[in-house]
Amino acid sequence: MIVKNYFGETADGRAVDCYTIKNTKETAVDIITYGATINSIYAADRNGVFADILAGFDTVEGHEKYSDYEGMTVGRYANRIAGGKFSIDGIEYNVEKNENGKTCLHGGAELSRAVWKAIIIDDCSLEMSYSSPDGAMGFPGKVDFKVTFTLFEDNSLKVDYYAVSDKKTVINMTNHAYFNLAGKGDILNHELMINADAYTPIDADSIPTGEIRPVEGTPFDFRVSKPIGRDIGAEDEQLAIGKGYDHNFCLNEGDGPAAVAYDPESGRMLEVFTDLCGVQLYTGNFLDGTKPGKKGEGLIKHAGFCLETQYYPNTPNMPEFPQCTIDAGEKFTSCTVFRFSVK
C-alpha cells in the first residue's frame, strides 16, 4: 500500500510530498520528493515494537537548513571529485567545488536539493524522476534520472537507479541514509560486517591516494562482524583524517551481502546487497548535537552510520579504479537492496 501526504514546502515555495510504502507486516518507508529522500523506515524489533531507524529530519526546513544528506539520493557523482575537475576525451570539465572550495562533493548536491516527480507504479513501488540540464554544476550532458523504491513482503527495500545522458558523462548514484537500528542513541555498539578485503586510504582532503590497502591487521577489518566503536578510536592516521570511519571499502565479488549490521539491544539486523564495486562507511563523525533532528532532538556524534553503495571516490581522475563513464544514450543502471530482519 502506498499513501501520499503533503510534507511541506521549500523556502522558495516548492511543494514537497511524502509517500509511505507499507507492507502487510507493517514495515513502512517514508519517501519525500525533496531529494528523493528515504525519510523514515519503521521496522520492528525482536519484541515486535516498531521504531524509526533513520536519523534525519521531520520537516523540509530541517533538510534545507541542517542536512548532511540524511536519506537523500546523491549524484550526479556520489562522493568526491578532487579539485572539482576531470577530463573526458581530452576535454576538461570544472564542476562545483562545494566542499571547502576544494572538492566536488555529491555532485554539488543538485539531485539532493531537487524536488523530484513521483509516480506510484503499484502497491509496493514508487518511481522518482528528475531531469538535470546540460552543464548543471559543470557536468556535461542533459541527464534523465530515475530512482525506483520497492518494499517487499520480506522487509527488503530495493532501490533501482537509472540514468541516461545525451553526452558522454560520469554517473555515480547512491542513497545517503543514516541508519540507527536502535532508533536512539549512538551506533557504536552496533555490530558490523563488510565483505571487503581492502579499502582506499585518503589524503587530507578525503580523496583516495590511489592505494588499494588490505584491511588485515588494521581498524578497517570488518570481515568478521565487530562493534563499530571497537576500533574507531584507535591510533591510526586514516581514522584521524576522517575523525572516524569515512572511507570506501572495495567489495569482494560474490552473491552474499556486501554488509551486515546488527543491533544487539533491539535485535534488528540490516543486510545490504549491491551490484556496485564499493561502499562508503561513514559513522556520523561530524555530527555534534547542535543540529535539531527528528522531534527536535540534536543529532549527536555517531547518531547513525551510512553504507553508501558506490563506485570509488574520484574515479574520473583515477584510471586504475573501476570506471563509471557512460556514452551518450547509454543507460546507467544499478541496484541496492536493504533487507531488515531480527534475531
Question: pLDDT at position 309, please?
Answer: 98
Question: For residues 6 and 212, what is the distance between their CA atoms, to the nearest angstrom?
Answer: 46
Print burial letters for 294-325: b (CB count within 10 Å at least 16), e (below 16).
beeeebbbbbbbbbbbbbbbbbbbbeebeebb
Question: pLDDT at position 306, please?
Answer: 98
All structural domains of the chain, each given as residue ranges with its CATH number in brackets, are: 2-342 (2.70.98.10)
Active-site pick, 70, 110, 191, 308: 308
Question: pLDDT at position 104, please?
Answer: 98
Active-site pick, 63, 106, 176, 190: 176
Q: Tell me the percentage of the chain whose pLDDT exceeds 70.
A: 100
308 is catalytic: yes
Maximal C-alpha separation, the chain: 59
> Distance from first CA to last CA of the chain, Å, rounded?
26
Strands 54-55 and 178-179, sheet pairing: antiparallel
176 is catalytic: yes
Whether pTM > 0.75 for this model: the answer is yes
The answer to whether the CB of 105 falls within 8 A of the CB of 99 is yes
Task: Write the DSSP symbol of residue 99.
Answer: B
Question: pLDDT at position 90, please?
Answer: 97
pLDDT, mean over the chain: 98
Query: Which cell goes with 73?
Result: 539520493
Q: 270 Cβ partners below 8 Å, 6+ apart?
A: 179, 181, 259, 260, 261, 262, 338, 339, 340
Q: 31-74, pLDDT tens digit by residue?
A: 999 999 999 999 999 999 999 999 999 999 999 999 999 999 99
